[in-house]
Amino acid sequence: MAHALGIRATSVVASSALLGMAAIAAFTMTLVQHPIVDFPDSVDPIEIVEVQPTVTDPPLRTQPASPLPRLADFSFDQLFDEIASPPILTILPAGAGGGAGLPSVIDPEWVRVPRDLARYYPERALVRGIEGSVTLNCIVDTRGGLDCAVMSVTPANWGFAQAALRISGDYQMVPATRDGMAVEARHRMVIPFRLQ
């Protein structure tokens, strides 16, 4: 047994020595990597040739065929030829639409109408020469102010609905009366947006 113990001790010492030498060799080793491709020292310049397409594309229009109108170039009459007086009015029959049961204003007497209507025209539509029309259903309060909702807009998504609502906020009419007292009423108006 003593003999086996000596062999084991010698084996452990020898293994430790070999592992130590392998570790020292690994830490002191330098890895040299050689390039895979051998590039030449000089390369002739490459000539770039521009090829013109054989298919002719339609010419791009950098400016519109006719000059685009500017908002500042328009006056009240030019922008809204149908709004020189108050908007076109359509009266709802009693009980129709929003505010059911409220009397309808047949022939409104305007106390205040908006001025400088060019400022309301949606700029995106103006630049593209788009005209539109908005129908509003309004509740007239006891002071004659209008609280309107959009019933229809043509064409949609050009800002005409928002512009018509802003315009309606600047209108005021003599309020409807019943037995000498101001009462709420209904009123439908069509606001056209026209360019000339």
The residues spanned by each domain of the chain are: 71-193
- In whole angstroms, give the CA distance from residue 144 to residue 110: 9
Any bridge partners for residue 174, and if so which? none
Domain at 71-193, CATH from 3.40.190.290, 3.20.20.105, 3.30.2420.10, 3.40.718.10: 3.30.2420.10
Least Cα distance to 145 among 167, 174, 166, 121 occurs for 174
> 74-99: buried (b, 16+ CB within 10 Å) or exposed (e) per residue?
beeeebbeebeeebeeeebeeeeeeb
Q: How many CB atoms lie within 10 A of CB 133?
A: 17
pLDDT at residue 154, rounded to an integer: 92
pLDDT at residue 37, rounded to an integer: 62
Strand, helix or coil at 8? helix
CA atoms within 13 A on the CB side of 74: 24
pLDDT at residue 79, rounded to an integer: 47
pTM for the model stands at 0.50
Residue in this structure with the two tokens 């205040």, named with its chain if needed: 112
pLDDT at residue 82, rounded to an integer: 39
- In whole angstroms, give the CA distance from residue 150 to residue 164: 8
pLDDT at residue 38, rounded to an integer: 62
pLDDT at residue 89, rounded to an integer: 36
Question: Residues in the chain with pLDDT < 50?
Answer: 57, 60-66, 75-98
- Model confidence over 26-35: pLDDT tens digits? 778 776 666 6
pLDDT at residue 178, rounded to an integer: 86
DSSP H or E run through 18: helix 2-28
